[in-house]
Homo-oligomer: A and B are copies of this chain.
Amino acid sequence: MRFTSETLSDGVRERLFTLGEIPGVLWTPEGAAGTRPLIVMGHGGGQHKKAPGVVVRARRFVTECAFAVAAVDVPGHGDRPKDEEYDRIATEIRARVDAGEDPAPLIAVFQALVARQTVPEWRAVLDAVQDLEYVGAGPVGYWGVSLGCGLGVPFVAAEPRVRAAVLGLGGATASAEAATRVTVPVEFLLQWDDERVPRAQGLALFDAFASAEKTLHANPGRHGEIPAYELDSTLRFFARHLGCTG
């Protein structure tokens, strides 16, 4: 793990790093020392590790609960080289949407392919970040919607250190099988008028989680319009399951 830059602002320390070929970012409270909960965040399709939706949440996790937060670029995104195979499939998904066809089966194939790479990558990042004295081996949470849900469900299913997950904007075709292996508490965000994930697909994915505690939060609006009050709820969900020392 190699740190390449560091900035401080409003009580949050941000360190960019690379782990092998994986570019990442770690946010922690200024002056943090000792073990704390860690949130791993997965960004959306076409976004990157410092997309605004990731950063705004990460900063609140740090400032309000003193969590550490890590995010990395998904292959083909952010500071990573383009991947021709991924690009070809992404182009084909857009073509199917434009043609009025159901893109869900191809999205499922795509996300399963990428997850075969991201699950071990994210586990390696978890190992490296938890080795830092000011992060340590505390409880881990996962946050990710849309592509961050499609890649997050197999990650949460595979990684026993994850104790709670906020997921959403994903569908059953892509993720129901892995969801049956998720047993930790889940808060699942569904947009009632999602133009990309049919409502029944989202409801069926919520249904598929094996978790004894799972809660569905559905709100009116399109794919990108999760209301601001859900971030308050996300914070309380992680605070309840991981402990909040902010």
Contacts and interface: CB of A to CB of B under 8 A. Distances in A.
Nearest to A232: B236
Nearest to A215: B219
Interface in A180-203: 190, 192, 203
Interface residue SS majority, chain A: mixed
Contacts of A90: none
A219 B212 CA distance: 10
A224 interface: no
Interface of A: 190, 192, 203, 206-207, 212-220, 227, 229, 232-233, 236, 240
* This chain: copies in complex: 2
Nearest to A188: B218
B213 A216 contact: no
B214 A219 contact: yes
Given A203-B203, A207-B192, A232-B236, A215 B217 contact: yes
Given A232-B236, A236-B232, A240-B229, A214 B203 contact: no
A201 B213 CA distance: 23
A215 B238 CA distance: 20
A229 B227 CA distance: 20
A184 B216 CA distance: 21
Contacts of A229: 215, 240
Contacts of A240: 229
Nearest to A233: B233
